[in-house]
Structure 1
Amino acid sequence: MSASRRLPVDPIAEAKRQWVAHGWESAAAGMTAVTSIIRAQQLMFARIDATLKPFGLSFARYELLRLLAFTRSGRMPMASAIARLQVHPTSVTNTVDRLARDGLVSREPHPVDGRAAMLVITSAGVNLVEDATAALNSEVFEDVGLSGADTAELVRIIARFRKDSGDFTDPRPQPDPL
Structure 2
Amino acid sequence: MAARGPLPVDPIAEAKRQWLAHGWDEAAPGMSVVTSIIRAQQLLLARIDAALKPFRLSFARYEMLRLLGFTREGRMPMASAIARLQVHPTSVTNTVDRLVRDGLIEREPHPADGRAAMLVLTASGRELVDRATDALNSDVFAAPGLSEQDTADLVRIIARFRKSSGDFTEPRPLPDPL
TM-score computed with the length of structure 1 as normaliser: 0.98
Q: For residues 132-147 of structure 1, what are the structure 2 equivalents within 5 Å?
A: 132-147=132-147
Q: For residues 1-178 of structure 1, what are the structure 2 equivalents within 5 Å?
A: 5-178=5-178
In structure 1, runs of 5+ residues without a counterpart are none
Q: Indicate the percent of aligned positions where both proteins have the same amino acid.
A: 78
- Report Cα offsets for 1:28-85 as digits up to 9, x if no partner: 0000000000000000000000000000000000000000000001000000000000
How far off its partner does 1:4 sit? Answer: 5.4
Please report the RMSD computed on the Cα atoms of aligned residues, expressed in angstroms: 1.2
Secondary structure of the corresponding residue to residue 119 of structure 1:
strand
Q: Give the residue type in structure 1 aligned to 2:159.
A: A
Aligned length: 177
Secondary structure of the corresponding residue to residue 72 of structure 1:
coil
Secondary structure of the corresponding residue to residue 26 of structure 2:
helix
In structure 2, runs of 5+ residues without a counterpart are none
TM-score computed with the length of structure 2 as normaliser: 0.98
Distance in 2, Cα, partners of 1:112 & 1:4:
55
Secondary structure of the corresponding residue to residue 175 of structure 2:
coil
Distance in 1, Cα, partners of 2:171 & 2:92:
26
Secondary structure of the corresponding residue to residue 25 of structure 1:
coil
Distance in 1, Cα, partners of 2:116 & 2:38:
36
